[in-house]
């Protein structure tokens, strides 16, 4: 597997239609907004909230950039040359904006997200078509910033005002919407205090901050009432969550998950991305105790070499990770483990790489995501000695991905013949086909009526594909184990 889809994907965000948030009389002068999202699930969540913020201003989402009155690029700064990709896209947008201008139509352009935070004024200097630059903690101010931009100001807003954003999200969460997809993201924590030497997150998202328990519960209840059956809790370091409860105490992620599991209609819970140092006993016990918490855990380790882990400032050892995996599997034997791996970090020797391969063999992942190390400006790793040649990085990456692919195929094959709960999320490519999600986060394709979208159904896995499972509806069996698998009835 070459990369995590949540780090590479570029998508157009389809917002909740404006008609679901705005009274009909306010739509007479509807404007259209096009949002292109780069990067992680948190950016997807942020893009959806941007369109929520803009809906009361009369903006309706569109998938056609040429039809948009406002174009927003919600950017990611994790990967190499991320900023250059944004400038390249802005070059294409300039031509669209010029064409609209010739026909008397306005198009405003905004850059949001982590590249906006990192580049700031430089974006306005290099790309004069950009009307506003908005950091990831300031998008709740979009209506006011757009108003300033329309008056001719070049707006750059990159303050770390995360509390104000969370308070705005909380207030907005009380406004009802008519419908949401069956699966949704919910940000509970932002920022990171770990300062891994390869990572830009502490510089683009700031220090670790958690939303209050009340804010999160309100938004989750709103989602459930709008048709959401599965919520994935998001954070750059989500298991470092330390939210304040109404009684003034501080809750960890395990306790928060227990509270969310009580919400009617919310059948499934997930969370990502975690750090090994913050995987405490209460969270591990929550995996054991909560049927709503799916048996899947993304727990990046990055390297299997103690020397490289120390150089990365991960502040755990390979043995720490092994002991943690043993505790997790003791609590939840059927859990699917996922991870991240960086190959070719400065100073990585053949033995260091073999230590990583050994760790993967011992852990046996259900899936994993892997990358060649890329130098990120402003991070300590970028100036380290002993940078590894690109051809050697590529060679090591290919070996690692081949091993991970074998493990993923073996895990998928172990589901063959099993009947498990599947959340049916959308129509498939073929007529009469639906696509859903297994408890272990695998895509499942099956023939089923469209009326079942949004429901959780018992599905027998009858075939294994390269990346998906194929199943058929299995009626009449309802004796599920804690992982969501259904036990065969005797007799």
Decide: 68 and 29 in contact? Cβ < 8 Å: no
d(CA 333, CA 236): 26
Question: Was 420 annotated as part of a binding site?
Answer: no
Question: Was 114 annotated as part of a binding site?
Answer: yes
d(CA 26, CA 57): 8
Strands (E), 358-479: 367-372, 419-427, 433-437, 443-447, 456-464, 469-473
What 8-state DSSP symbol labels residue 421?
E
DSSP 213-263: HHHHHHHHHHHHHTT--EEEEE-TTGGG--EEPTTS-EE-HHHHHHHHTTS
Decide: 190 and 206 in contact? Cβ < 8 Å: yes
Decide: 309 and 316 in contact? Cβ < 8 Å: yes
342: helix, strand or coil: strand
For residue 51, give both structure tokens. 């369109």
What angle do helix axes 162-173 and 213-225 make, rounded to 10 degrees?
40
Decide: 231 and 223 in contact? Cβ < 8 Å: yes
For residue 183, give both structure tokens. 């699966």
Binding residues for [4Fe-4S] cluster: 40, 76, 114, 192, 196, 199
Binding residues: 40, 76, 114, 192, 196, 199
């Amino acid at each position: 597997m070459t990369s995590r889809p949540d780090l590479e994907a570029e998508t157009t965000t389809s917002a909740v239609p404006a008609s679901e948030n705005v009274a009909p009389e306010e739509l007479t002068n509807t404007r259209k907004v096009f949002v292109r999202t780069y990067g992680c699930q948190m950016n997807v969540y942020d893009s959806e909230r941007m369109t929520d913020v803009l809906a009361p201003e009369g903006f309706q989402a569109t998938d056609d950039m040429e039809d948009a009155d406002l174009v927003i690029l919600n950017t990611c700064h994790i990967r190499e040359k991320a900023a250059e990709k944004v400038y390249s896209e802005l070059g294409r947008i300039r031509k669209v904006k010029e064409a609209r201008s010739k026909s008397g139509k306005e198009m405003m352009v905004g850059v949001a997200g982590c590249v906006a935070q990192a580049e700031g004024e430089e974006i306005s200097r290099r790309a004069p078509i950009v009307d506003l630059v908005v950091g990831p903690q300031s998008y709740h101010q979009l209506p006011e910033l757009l108003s300033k931009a329309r008056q001719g100001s070049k707006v750059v807003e990159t303050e770390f005002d995360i509390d104000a954003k969370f308070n705005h999200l909380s207030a907005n969460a009380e406004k009802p919407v008519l419908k949401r997809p069956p699966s949704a993201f919910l940000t509970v924590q932002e920022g990171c205090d770990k300062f891994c030497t390869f990572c830009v997150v502490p510089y683009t998202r700031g220090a670790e901050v958690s939303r209050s328990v009340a804010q999160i519960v309100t938004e989750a209840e709103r989602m459930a009432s709008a048709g959401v059956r599965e919520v994935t809790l998001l954070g750059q370091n989500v298991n470092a969550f330390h939210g304040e409860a109404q009684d003034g105490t501080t809750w960890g992620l395990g306790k928060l998950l227990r509270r969310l599991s009580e919400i009617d209609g919310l059948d499934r819970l997930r969370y990502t991305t975690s750090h090994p140092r913050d995987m405490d006993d209460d969270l591990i016990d929550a995996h054991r105790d909560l049927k709503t918490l799916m048996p899947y855990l993304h727990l990046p380790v990055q390297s299997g070499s103690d020397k490289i882990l120390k150089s990365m400032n991960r502040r755990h050892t390979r043995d720490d990770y092994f002991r943690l995996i043993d505790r997790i599997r003791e609590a939840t034997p059927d859990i699917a483990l996922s991870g991240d791996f960086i190959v070719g970090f400065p100073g990585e020797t053949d033995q260091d790489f073999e230590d990583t391969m050994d760790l993967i063999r011992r852990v046996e992942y259900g899936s994993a995501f892997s990358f060649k190390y890329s130098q990120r400006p402003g991070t300590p790793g970028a100036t380290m000695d002993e940078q590894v040649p690109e051809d050697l990085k590529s060679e090591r990456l290919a070996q690692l991905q081949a091993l991970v692919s074998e493990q993923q195929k073996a895990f998928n094959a172990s589901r063959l013949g099993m009947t498990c709960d599947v959340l049916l999320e959308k129509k498939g490519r073929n007529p009469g086909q639906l696509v859903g999600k297994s408890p272990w986060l695998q895509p499942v394709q099956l023939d089923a009526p469209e009326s079942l979208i949004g429901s959780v159904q018992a599905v027998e896995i009858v075939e294994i594909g390269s990346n998906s499972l194929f199943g058929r509806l299995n009626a009449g069996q309802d004796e599920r184990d804690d992982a969501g698998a259904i036990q065969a009835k005797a007799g």
